[in-house]
Amino acid sequence: MGMKNSMKGYDFKPVRVIKTAFKQKAGTPIQGSLHPKTKGEIKIYKKYAKGLLDLDGFSHVILLYVFHKSRGYSLKQKPFLDDKEHGVFAIRSPKRPNPIGLTVVRLEKIEDNILTVYGVDMLDGTPTLDIKPYIPDFDPSKKFRIGWLKGKIKGRHVSDKRFG
């Protein structure tokens, strides 16, 4: 008896949207860690507030969110830090088959159901899908290879109209 390979869709519900100072793509930071002073606020829906219990003990959290202003995708694209095309899975472009973003941010405080975070790189109103504690011991060692990005990450980068 053979096994059927079935792929199904998933229906994600945001835990809330993040509020940031960035109203349009152009000028929005690229990679929050390069912009540690950019502030964001997430007011979690009350029905999810109990899920914040003990999160305040972590200095950083991982935000998973939707690139809600991104339309369409291409499997090869020119990223911000290069003039050469790369595969979409080798870059962090918002134009992806599944437009999901991930950013590690510094958690400043939690008051009731409101998280204040720093190091944001997303637009105001971005739907936040999930929040997870960042745990360095669970992540790989410091021995990384960064492929085509080697020697290209310098300075502070902001979005242009490339992924309009």
Domain, as residue range, for 111: 16-149
What's this model's pTM, rounded to 2 decimal places?
0.83
In the chain, the number of structural domains is 1
| In a domain? residue 2 | no
- Which stretches of 8-118 are DSSP H helices? none
Mean pLDDT, rounded, for 53-79: 94
Residues ≥6 apart with Cβ < 8 Å to 136: none
Q: pLDDT value at position 1?
A: 47
42: number of Cβ within 10 Å: 26
CATH number of domain containing 31:
2.40.30.70
Mean pLDDT, rounded, for 30-50: 89
Q: What is the DSSP letter of 83?
A: S
